[in-house]
Amino acid sequence: MTSRAQKTTRDLRWHNRSDVLTRLYLRECTNRNDLARASGLSAATISNVVSDLIADGLVGENGSQSSAGGRPRSLLRVRPDFGHVVGVDIGETEIRVGLFDWTLQPVADDEVRAVATAQIPPHEVADQILSEIAAVTARAGITPDGLLGVGIGVPGAGGSVIHAPTLGWSAVPLAGLLRAGLGFAPDVDNGAMALGQAENWRGAARGAERAVTLLLGIGAGGALSMTAGPAGRARSFTMEWGHTVVDLDGPTCRCGARGCLETYIGAEAILARYAATSGSAPFDGDGVEAHLAELVARAVKQQEPAAGAVLDDTARYLGIGISNLINLVAPDRVILSGWAGALLCDALLPAVRLVVRQHALPYLQEFTRIEPGELGPSATALGAATLPVARLLADGGRRGDE
């Protein structure tokens, strides 16, 4: 009985640490009084938990603020120097590795490895990831075994085994392939889900009750973030939005179906449509990203009719896809992210919003904001970095060896 009581007390202590640390990390609260009100914990419990977090180097004092008729209140903040995390974006055109402090501020320039073919053998991907992690951590003067964790975003279903049809992977034990080289198992999940979590924590979806983050690249994915639980924190869920069908007689998708949305708004599909348009011209650069950037420049700066027509079509299909999302899940925010989203957003956003006004149900779309992502070219790598951070917050800041 004593052992069970001790375990229950210990579990409650770590639960309280997790709750308080998460509120501070997500900037829901900034002082002890706010923490007590928001969590329902007593002032004494908050004082003890905060003291523990400060002693462990997770939290620090950050000045003070005046209070009505009382002593100034000490402000609290999560300490960036507690540790570092790595985020890995396994994309269809590149593998990007970013190093961040655990508050998700970049510490060193990303390592980027171009992908020659979308279907690289898993062991080669694992070797490349380990090489890039070693390079990016060496530039910052730290060692991989000193990391708080490594998160990996993949274009498929994550977990202990990976199912990623676009990479030609089925039941690939990626975490196991990396464990020996890292000294610990990485956190692996769907890249769109991780990106949605990052936009919700630090980006354009912050404060939304129900947000959809769209990952636009070679293909098109999405994540739905909804508030959950008494604390009102958001959880993200993967959506195979790019494989919703918009034309039964449309082009064949790589998933095997016809007329999937990504066959109209994916980067390769956009470029193929341009190449088949009268008046199109060869590109000067190399690679899908360079070609898409050049296409946007031709449409916006050079006013080339062929490029403009293709982007008009893209905006129409993107707007229809977003209209379907609004009618289905009624988000209060839709975020256009991913590398292709960043390239297309400025050129397409006004037209996309117009299409949405024409096709989404008025009583739903009037409450929805459609916005560009705020996390830049490292967005998906940053999203992947949230995976070990989320685990650390859930454990109350407890490292794996504690």
pLDDT at 297: 96
Closest CA to 383 of 241, 217, 145, 232: 217
Contact, 242 vs 220, CB < 8 A?
A: yes
Residues 6+ apart with CB under 8 A from 155: 90, 91, 92, 164, 166, 167, 190, 191, 219, 221
| Phi, psi angle pair for 79, to nearest 5° | -85, 120
- For the chain, the straight-line distance linking the first and the last C-alpha, in angstroms and rounded, comes to 24
Compute CA 75 distance to the chain's CA centroid, rounded to the nearest angstrom: 29
> Which class for 325: exposed (0-12), middle (13-18), buried (19 or more C-beta within 10 A)?
buried
Count of beta carbons in the 10 Å neighbourhood of residue 66: 9
Contact, 312 vs 277, CB < 8 A?
A: no
pLDDT at 101: 95
Closest CA to 166 of 260, 236, 97: 260
Give the pair of three-digit tokens for residue 35. Answer: 């923490």
Measure the CA angle with vertex 224, ends 220 and 229; round to 5°.
Answer: 165
Alpha-carbon span 325 to 244, nearest angstrom:
10
Contact, 130 vs 138, CB < 8 A?
A: no
Measure the CA angle with vertex 92, ends 213 and 307; round to 5°.
Answer: 75
pLDDT tens track of the chain, all 402 residues?
455 555 588 888 899 999 999 999 988 888 999 999 988 999 999 999 999 999 999 999 887 776 655 667 789 999 999 999 999 999 878 899 999 999 999 998 888 888 766 678 889 999 999 999 999 999 999 988 889 999 999 987 767 788 887 778 888 899 999 998 999 999 999 999 999 999 999 899 988 899 999 999 988 999 998 875 544 566 778 888 999 999 999 999 988 899 999 999 999 999 999 999 999 999 998 889 999 999 999 999 999 999 999 999 999 999 999 999 999 999 999 999 988 999 999 999 999 999 999 999 999 999 999 999 998 878 889 999 999 999 999 999 987 555
pLDDT at 1: 44
Give the pair of three-digit tokens for residue 236. Answer: 């993200």
Compute CA 197 distance to the chain's CA centroid, rounded to the nearest angstrom: 5
Which pTM value belongs to this model?
Answer: 0.88
Measure the CA angle with vertex 362, ends 361 and 367; round to 5°.
Answer: 105
Closest CA to 224 of 206, 208, 209, 211: 211
